[in-house]
A = this chain, B = another copy of it.
């Protein structure tokens, strides 16, 4: 009954929107090829012509979901910037996004290149954001230039993500975030 048959980019977007919808509503387990196809008003063939398997579709949908999440806060002091970024990431990782992330991580065992793509887009996990925050702190004289290393800069978000991935919780309390900042991150960057 469709007046005109959708093609190319139009159909691709419809599929992606359907997959992202399932992801948001039912988590990664809900992203089945049958469900996505039905929701997009198409069939599995159209999906398999674009993504080689369920995992690839899941990553693409996840990227659509968490897009536009990399703003760099500027509160005027390092502690405020770090807290704001962690809290923002905490919202992004909260249920169901945490489940989604965990589900995706596990499904990528055989596709390292897909996992790398996922890692790049992982919510606020990019080192560049953290280096930017630290660079401004260096400019204000809050920390020494030797702290400007990716491994050091991303410690806070790694610890936060660790809470999600290994504890399976749906949301990290603000106390934990403050603890990460005051007990670990700030002492570390000031000592480096």
Contact = CB atoms under 8 A, between A and B. Distances in A.
A15 to B, nearest CB: 24
Copy count, this protein chain: 2
A99 B122 CA distance: 19
A112 B169 CA distance: 8
Name the residue in A103, A112, A179, A191 with the highest tally of chain B Cβ atoms < 10 Å from its Cβ: A191
A187 B192 contact: yes
B102 A167 contact: no
What is the predominant secondary structure among interface residues of chain A facing chain B?
A: helix
Name the residue in A151, A169, A190 with the highest tally of chain B Cβ atoms < 10 Å from its Cβ: A151
Interface string A102-135: 1101111100100110010010010000000000
Given A188-B188, A191-B187, A168 B115 contact: yes
